[in-house]
Amino acid sequence: MIYVALISYTPDPERTIAAAARVSTSSARASQLMEKLAPQAVDRLLGLLISSGHLSPFEHASFTFAIEGISRVTSHQLVRHRMASYTQQSQRYVSLKDFHYITPATISAKGELEAEYHQMVRAAHALYLKMLDAGIPMEDARYVLPQAAETRLVMTMNARELIHVCSLRLCLRAQWEIVELFEKVKAEVEKVAPRLAAELKPKCYRLGYCDEAESCGIFPTLAEVGEKTQRKR
């Protein structure tokens, strides 16, 4: 089961973003703007920034998450988002004698294949342990471990990158595990910055159409929108 905890974040993140945005058009100091901004003004300004695509002020608020229970499959996808910081549990230095791994529901639904899957993963782990007993260092023995292996990490992202990543990873066409991960990331952000969390959503909600080749069904593809427009003409 995926575990996500928000362990650190910019204090009053939404007000910080709003004050940063106001600095560009005000002679007042940022600290003065922080004090004067009413909650309604913060909400209104964040909406204006989003709708106008002026997202650089969102970089002034950052969030740090402790993440556990994801596979190496998902951590490999995650670190492709380069505007973030990651510190991951090392298989070089941490013994995996106590081994946990992820089983996708699609595999669990296939009885015989599920049995073969568990057999294969356990056999790989057994070989890993045998290698350790033979004196092979962990950094080399880990080569036999599958991508299903559980991992844990700490991730820090600023609010702008969170908006971008969620626009991709909350899409229903993304892989199930990373969708679940960012649903939990969003839930953690919602506890301290609900207005910002409302912007953590698939990009189709902002575009009004799906820009993938095939839609999940929530919004039509851009090609389908074009066809409807042509028919109306």
Catalytic positions are 169
Q: What is the Cα–Cα distance from 183 to 137, expressed in whole angstroms?
A: 37
Q: Residue 170 burial (CB < 10 Å; 0-12/13-18/19+)?
A: buried
The size of the chain, in residues, is 233
CA angle (170 as vertex; 165, 174 as ends), nearest 5: 95
Q: What is the Cα–Cα distance from 81 to 99, expressed in whole angstroms?
A: 27
Q: Which residues of 130-139 are buried (b: 16+ CB within 10 A; e: fewer)?
A: ebbeeeeebe
In sequence order, which ranges of the chain are alpha helices (DSSP H)? 13-23, 30-36, 39-52, 72-78, 105-108, 111-133, 138-141, 159-169, 176-192, 194-197, 203-207, 222-232
Q: What's 80's DSSP letter?
A: T
